[in-house]
Amino acid sequence: MKENIVQNKSIDFSIRIVRYCDVLYSKKEFIIANQLLRSATSIGSNIFEAQDAESRLDFIHKMKIASKEASETFYWLTLCDKLDNFDLPPECFNELKQISALLGRIITTSRKNLE
């Protein structure tokens, strides 16, 4: 079976965010931690769900949802980065950018294959 890079990256990213949110929870930053945790882990869950899509259009739709969740996650990470004392791991942005780029290419290629 071929390795699915975007799935692997989304799992690694989710694990990093879960660990980071543990830090936020310990600082009693519940609202931001909850929002970040929800959007970041939703990226991977939608990527995984897309693998069992009912059609090519359903696959594209799930990948677009994952991309939207990545955008929301970028917002929450930016907020954490700008707030004092949030100790955001610097690699979070790079990992998210890689996932977003992969999603963009997957969506574009999948749309072309519809024609």
Q: Which of 70, 61, 110 shows the shortest CA–CA distance to 92?
A: 70
Report the distance separating Cα 80 and Cα 66, nearest Å: 21
pLDDT interval class at 57 (50, 70, 90): very high
User: In this predicted structure, what is the pLDDT of residue 43?
Assistant: 98
What residue spans define the domains of the chain? 5-112
Q: Residue 2 carries which DSSP code?
A: -
Average pLDDT, the chain: 95
CATH architecture of 5-112: Up-down Bundle (1.20)
Q: Write out pLDDT tens, residues 88-110.
A: 898 999 999 999 999 999 999 99
What are the tens digits of pLDDT across the range 13-28?
999 999 999 999 999 9
Q: Quick one: tokens of 80?
A: 């954490």
Task: Residue 67: count other Cβ atoms within 10 Å of its Cβ.
Answer: 19
Closest CA to 33 of 18, 13, 44: 18
Which residue is it, tokens 């970041």? 40
Residue 100 in contact with residue 63, Cβ under 8 Å?
Answer: no
Q: State pTM to two decimals.
A: 0.93
Tell me the CA distances in angstroms from 5 to 8, 30, 39, 47, 57, one per residue in order: 5, 31, 20, 11, 21
